[in-house]
Structure 1
């Protein structure tokens, strides 16, 4: 099955174009999260999303946003990825007041954390990530996913050309960000091409 790839942390229209040409199905933007070197404003989001084809999902990655900010980004994105302490009630409110799909991020320290998905029945899909969200160089421990019966989830956490084959053993939905960078926050065109070439070799 062909992998579904989301390339996150986008800041450059040329890199977005390249990712889509290479096969990315979702393009992610980190909104107003100043701890990240990839953070952009809603004004920048408006500019970066205007030329993205309709068949590509545009994902706003946010940490504990207000419902007002969620409504604002819904003018430019069709998916929101929640990275904070958002509640099931808040996800229900997003569903009620916008047309956004919701990806809820689960930060996984141990296998028990995988069960927290039960708290978020209104989320459309989950993304399993490292607790630090890859910021300290820690890669996701894919072994923790091996007993999950439902394989319909995204996985993130320092995924790159060296561990993508292992990640694909557990899910065909991949979230990649810093693994395509040479400098922090700057995507490398050659790394992007090499990554997608490796993906194509693994398609069955």
Structure 2
């Protein structure tokens, strides 16, 4: 199972996660986030990060030109649009880079119609827990409520996934929806403090997840 570690703020930790085989590293470009990456790293430092790990930029309702400039300045591979971006907005960004459109899941029943108009303008989806902000709540939504949905596109599962949840994730992977599950997205439950990850917890979680 692929894993995206989001909210990264330290280049040394990114390198260690790359060595551990994590497929995606998320950098948050939302100034109101406690994990806002430009509080810790410059665009040049992010651009210099090499390796197999895919650099994902997380944006929330940012101006399109700002997103495109940040993608170039930081050498990003994927743009995760985590706000209220319209299909037209997503389409513009997707002409330039792989786009993951995030949705807060307040009701599993409404997901299919909410994603419908984004099917042709986003490459992947991400499902997260609703909250006052945009992500990073550390709380789960009802994953089981999604189990029979036909998403029709690869998606990331997010929302309060913690070190003890490997068995719950394995259970989710048996549901019909899991045919489209592309990656997990982990963040606040694997931290020492905002933006600083507990690498040992991540390593242990990944090992449990990939064991039979």
TM-score, normalization by structure 1: 0.87
Could you list the per-position Cα deviations for residues 134-173 of structure 1 after superposition, in whole angstroms to 9, with x for gaps in the alignment?
5443213211111123473111011122113323424351
Tell me how far 1:120 sits from its aligned partner: 0.8
- The root-mean-square deviation of aligned C-alpha atoms, in Å, is 2.0
CA distance in 1, matches of 2:33, 2:196: 12
Residue 197 of structure 2 is matched in structure 1 by: 187
Equivalent of 1:106, from 95, 103, 109? 103
CA distance in 2, matches of 1:134, 1:92: 22
CA distance in 2, matches of 1:83, 1:123: 12
Task: Tell me if structure 1 keeps the 8 A contact 2:129–2:137.
Answer: no
Task: Tell me if structure 1 keeps the 8 A contact 2:137–2:160.
Answer: no
CA distance in 1, matches of 2:20, 2:36: 23
Aligned with 2:42: secondary structure? helix
CA distance in 2, matches of 1:137, 1:154: 16
Tell me how far 1:95 sits from its aligned partner: 2.7
Residue 57 of structure 1 is matched in structure 2 by: 54
Correspondences of 1:1-204 after superposition (within 5 Å): 3-31=1-29, 33-41=30-38, 44-53=42-51, 55-75=52-72, 76-96=75-95, 98=96, 100-115=97-112, 116-121=114-119, 122-132=121-131, 133=134, 135-150=136-151, 152-168=154-170, 169=173, 170=178, 171-202=181-212
Give 4+ residue runs of structure 1 displaced > 3 Å after superposition: 133-137
Aligned length: 196
Could you list the per-position Cα deviations for residues 26-55 of structure 1 after superposition, in whole angstroms to 9, with x for gaps in the alignment?
111001x233211022962431341322x4
Of 143-152 and 157-166, more deviation after overlay is shown by 143-152
